[in-house]
Structure 1
Amino acid sequence: MRIAIGADEAGFTLKEIIKSYLAERGVEHVDFGPADSTQSIDYPDVGFAVAEEVVRGHYDRAILICGTGIGMTITADKVPGIRAALCHDTYSAERAMKSNNAQVLTMGARVIGSELAKHIVRAWLESEFDGGNSERKVQKIMEGEQRLAGTGVYTKEISSCSTHE
């Protein structure tokens, strides 16, 4: 299995810990940055780069880390074909793969500690998509994504909310 891993500067330290953990387990991985904790990098830049590489088939799965994990999740999920899951516990990480076939795991470095992060990564790596009833649901997600891609829904401006008087 080939894993792409990336972070912003808030996730740098946890990324380095997870890289070491992957190496200990013999999991091939490639680091998409940042190179050090002082390198300012916007999470969308890393999130899009990593998610696009997964969609292209260059990596089987990916791990993205930012301060909360939310920005990386939102970014990766904008890439058609990606299912990114924000996981801060092992059960969610397991279910992300088994029920949703989430190729991208996201975590928040300011939310969880390094030991829990390792357990989350292990649960996600050791899980496989179950298919079954979940396969039908994941297929619906992919069909909806394809249907919306050609409608311009993704590019419409969001109008300001009106107030009721």
Structure 2
Amino acid sequence: MKIAIGNDHAGTDYKLAIVGLLKSMNIEVNNYGTDGADSVDYADFVHPVALDVNNADVDFGIIICGSGNGASMTANKHQKVRCALCWTKEIVQLSREHNDANILSLPARFISLPQALEMVRTFLNTEFEGGRHERRIEKIPCK
């Protein structure tokens, strides 16, 4: 499995811990995020993740910013991206089961690091249910 990850300054500590978790799971990581605390623009780090997912160069993406909103909005501008902003493990599970989310957006200022790591595990271990949900996600892209 291969994951692209990106973050702004609010998500640096979370990104570093998530990369450690992914590597411990033998998952290859494309790291597009900042490693510092200096203020940066989230879009500069989110677009490369979304492009990797959109072009099927990775299996999934993970993006992290303060609220998760700006990152999620940016990622969802890409045609084949279904980015889910999540703040609980249960929402992560539903985003995979019902929406076939391929990017997880985490709000670093509103969840704890242990929650974030559990959410990543849930995201990677939950399968899309298909069925009635397939028809719904096919209607997401604008024609």
Normalization by structure 1: what TM-score?
A: 0.83
Question: 1:13·1:37 contact (CA, 8 Å) conserved in 2?
Answer: no
Partner of 2:42: 43
1:7-41 residue CA offsets vs partner (Å, 9 max, x unmatched): 00111111111111111222221210213233x32
Partner of 1:80: 79
Partner of 1:14: 14
1:69 aligns with 2:51: no
Partner of 2:94: 95
Q: Whose relative contact order is higher, 1 or 2, with alpha carbons under 8 Å and at least 6 apart?
A: 2
Alpha-carbon separation, structure 2, partners of 1:101 and 1:68: 22
Letter of the 2:17 counterpart: I
Partner of 1:153: none
Alpha-carbon separation, structure 1, partners of 2:25 and 2:59: 16
1:113 aligns with 2:112: yes
Letter of the 1:28 counterpart: E
Partner of 2:124: 125
CA RMSD of aligned residues (A): 1.0
Alpha-carbon separation, structure 2, partners of 1:35 and 1:116: 21
1:101 match: secondary structure = coil
Alpha-carbon separation, structure 1, partners of 2:111 and 2:35: 22
Larger radius of gyration: 1
Normalization by structure 2: what TM-score?
A: 0.95
Tell which deviates more after alignment, 18-27 or 105-114.
Answer: 18-27
1:108-151 residue CA offsets vs partner (Å, 9 max, x unmatched): 11110110001101111001111000000001113xx2x1xxxx
Gaps of 5+ in 1: 148-165
Gaps of 5+ in 2: none
Question: 1:66·1:72 contact (CA, 8 Å) conserved in 2?
Answer: yes
